Structure 1
Amino acid sequence: MNEENQSLTENDTFSLTTLPEGKKAVGGGWVYNIKKNSDGSNRFNARFVTKGFSQTKGVDYEETFSPTANLASVRILTQKVVQDVKTAYLHAPIDEEIYTEQPEGFETESSEKNKLVYRLGKSLHGLKQSGRTWNQTLHDYLSSCGFRQNPADNCVYSREIESEKVIILVWVDALLIAANNEKVLSDVKEMLSSKFTMKDLGKLNHFVGIDFLQEEECIKMSQKTYVENILKRFHMRH
């Protein structure tokens, strides 16, 4: 929770203010989750999220669509590395005037003891438009770095400069990166890290619920871990 609150502050996600007359604050709260590392091990995280179901279309948001990569593209890029954009949504500016409650446990009052709220300058998990604003932010940056969006799959980007080739597949905040040599791969990682807070998850072992086992002559894909976790969740394991 401390790490999440620090990320909110470091990314200039909000400014503290009193709620203007006639405005309503979108509710907020903590969500706790267990995510998977690329090797299938667990990592725990806490997210401060907004209650997007209380947003009003035309007031708090407009368009919400954001693309998701085709699984065929994922299969093509299996011999690659995985990068995760830490707190991705917090990098994406929003245009709407949105207020939300402060995170429980991290509340601040005004000097007059008046209740303060966050006026959001960046997206948060839970907002209806967050997926779209993050995707647009990443698209704009990749485009500015010379990457071209694949017309057959809008979540695949490629760049070719002389003999250097690199392909990036986007799955929300997870990126699969393929390059034709280690230097190009290192340069792309550095490029992404200069803009976003990145986490290197290493070679592809686990991605979007799929386990990848790389052997000399083939790559095996299964959902064994995913199925076992479902059985465990519903107490169906023997």
Structure 2
Amino acid sequence: MPAKLSDFVLDERVRYGNNRQEDGEDTEQNMNLLLAQDDDVPLSYQEAAKGNEWRKAMDSELESIEKNRVWVLTDAPWNQTPIGLKWLYKIKRDAKGKITRHKARLVAKGYVQQLGIDFEDTFAPVARMETIRLILALAGKMGWLVYHLDVKTAFLHGDLKETVYVKQPEGYERKGEEHKVYKLTKALYGLKQAPRCWNIKLNGVLKELGFKRCAHEQAVYVRVKGIDILILCVYVDDLLLTGNNQAEIDVFKEEMTNKFEMTDMGLLCYYLGIEVIQNEEGILIKQSAYAEKLLEVAGMKGCNETKVPMEAGLKLHKDDQGNEVDPTHYRRLVGSLRYLTHTRPDILYAVGYVSRFMQEPKESHMKAVKHLIRYIKGTTHYGIKYKRTGGGTLIGYSDSNFVTDSEDGRSTSGNVFFYNDCAVSWQSQKQKTVALSSCEAEFMAATLAACQAVWLHGLLEEITVKQQEIVTILVDNKSAIQLMKNPVFHGRSKHISPKYHFIRQCVDKNQVQVDFVSGNMQKADVLTKALPLIKFAEMRFMLGVEDLEGLKPYVS
């Protein structure tokens, strides 16, 4: 039977309610965890050794290391310098700020490692945000539950291929054998290759359990048994699990528990700073707690609100003659705003615009950033809803604003893709070459959208194990559409870089379909320029960004 919310909500309340309260993983608790300050965290082992709680935390960490057989005590090699170890400490708090747990982590000083000697490759794939949103949109449409699993001390499970020696941890040297070192058999936190070792280990285990790795997204796995399907999304040690059969989900949890020491977080409610609400309406995502933290960091919790993220027609310049501001603070604010765009496409253009002045920010640039933060103040609880109703098709919008930048003459491309009438992917990017006409600018923007469309279409077919309809890209420039479809117009496009002709190939191969949409219905318009108030409000509504304050999940 399909895993519907209405069928399992009572069971989930009983099975996971207590654990979620103990682990502090519901939405309200996580909001407070973001804002909690760890002023009492020790900075060295000498400070930590004075407290019994920290001593217990370090004992627990070493117990996990011994349990996983991470190292073997041996004589120090004459031809290799052992890597030092360091203790890191963190306080875990509940929603009221009360301390729930003291956590100690033993990490290696991986910065002293040398390529080719004690590590080779460090790359390990993690899921893209577009992928996570697409899976949530699919689960919301189908009425599937999405679960959150966590692998305890994940990196300690990765098998090392290189020979690595580490010193004995401070305060836990073996008596009479202080001159000896540990030879690692498995990865330790802090090593450059640790994430890759863990990913290889997890990949092998999942393949043993019958999962197939997606070619379009290396961090997503699918298992199909008849009509039953399980979808697993991996972000380091955090696993998102969904599917159409509750029994299969429970079986998988047991299988993973037999392989690793797992923490079952229950229904997904908080992930990578994103708050997730699962209820009868579908799946809702927002970053209210993160936005509140941003206001606190900026010192603007009591500021006045604005209605738009950027004033229409605002022009900033890199060579502004105004006074300079603290570049570190400016970059910190812009970086925080950039992460907020994971659930807020309405601010993406404004964030991208102020990002152009990171090198030498001036007062005028900081003023624009503060204006944007004031807009966040009035829209703290805004987010996106992945609803149950809809056609279940993938459709994209592509737009470009000709000559946005007055300094170098380059335009800005924007595209947004909707699955089941809900936004799952959005981009706003300054073009790399100067366009000679609006037609050329739209042509280059559509090529960027075509690349995203081909990838999303392939990924959607893999995770649904069904053939999907051709992706339609809607463009509001008829000349650009003719240029994409009709080779007679080749003379007009002979100066355009060959890579931008990729969309022609996609149209010829029937990979994408390009159609016309009027400018009033062009949903990507807000991603290419700053709009006046009324137009901006219309575009925000068309993107599906709305106020989600007060909406509650099933399991609280």
Flag whether TM exceeds 0.5 (same fold): yes
The answer to whether structure 1 residue 136 and structure 2 residue 180 are counterparts is: no
Task: Give the % identical residues.
Answer: 37
1:192 corresponds, among 256, 260, 269, to 256
Looking at secondary structure, tell me which structure has more helix per residue: 2
Is the partner of 1:194 in helix, strand or coil?
Answer: helix
Is the partner of 1:153 in helix, strand or coil?
Answer: coil
Taking a change above 3 Å as real, the CA distance of residues 115 and 171 of structure 1, as seen in their structure-2 partners, is same
Deviation at 1:220, TM superposition (A): 2.1
Any gaps of 5 or more consecutive residues in structure 2?
1-57, 137-144, 303-556
Amino acid in the other structure paired with 2:63 = Q
Deviation at 1:115, TM superposition (A): 1.8
Is the partner of 2:126 in helix, strand or coil?
Answer: coil
Is the partner of 1:151 in helix, strand or coil?
Answer: coil
2:226 corresponds, among 162, 169, 172, to 162
Is the partner of 2:179 in helix, strand or coil?
Answer: coil
Q: What is the rounded CA distance, in whole Å, between the counterparts of 2:201 and 2:67 in structure 1? A: 18
The answer to whether structure 1 residue 102 and structure 2 residue 168 are counterparts is: yes
Aligned to 1:120: 184
Taking a change above 3 Å as real, the CA distance of residues 226 and 46 of structure 1, as seen in their structure-2 partners, is farther
Is the partner of 1:9 in helix, strand or coil?
Answer: helix
Taking a change above 3 Å as real, the CA distance of residues 155 and 18 of structure 1, as seen in their structure-2 partners, is same
The answer to whether structure 1 residue 64 and structure 2 residue 89 are counterparts is: no
Deviation at 1:103, TM superposition (A): 1.9
Deviation at 1:49, TM superposition (A): 0.4
CA contact (8 A) 1:77 1:176 kept: no
Size of the aligned set, in residue pairs, is 233
1:180 corresponds, among 244, 252, 259, to 244
Taking a change above 3 Å as real, the CA distance of residues 34 and 235 of structure 1, as seen in their structure-2 partners, is farther
The answer to whether structure 1 residue 11 and structure 2 residue 75 are counterparts is: no
1:92-141 deviation digits (Å, cap 9, x = unpaired)? 1101111112222222134xx54222111000111000011100110011
Aligned to 2:152: 86
Taking a change above 3 Å as real, the CA distance of residues 33 and 74 of structure 1, as seen in their structure-2 partners, is farther
1:151-184 deviation digits (Å, cap 9, x = unpaired)? 1111000010112211110000000011212210
Which structure has more RCO (C-alpha within 8 Å, separation ≥ 6)?
A: 1
Taking a change above 3 Å as real, the CA distance of residues 208 and 200 of structure 1, as seen in their structure-2 partners, is same
Looking at secondary structure, tell me which structure has more strand per residue: 1
Aligned to 1:32: 89
Deviation at 1:19, TM superposition (A): 0.8
CA contact (8 A) 1:109 1:115 kept: no
CA contact (8 A) 1:158 1:165 kept: yes
Larger Rg: 2
Taking a change above 3 Å as real, the CA distance of residues 49 and 234 of structure 1, as seen in their structure-2 partners, is farther
Amino acid in the other structure paired with 2:207 = S
What RMSD in Å do the two structures reach over aligned CA positions?
2.3
Taking a change above 3 Å as real, the CA distance of residues 236 and 20 of structure 1, as seen in their structure-2 partners, is farther
Taking a change above 3 Å as real, the CA distance of residues 30 and 235 of structure 1, as seen in their structure-2 partners, is farther
CA contact (8 A) 1:109 1:116 kept: no
TM superposition score normalised by structure 2: 0.40
TM superposition score normalised by structure 1: 0.90
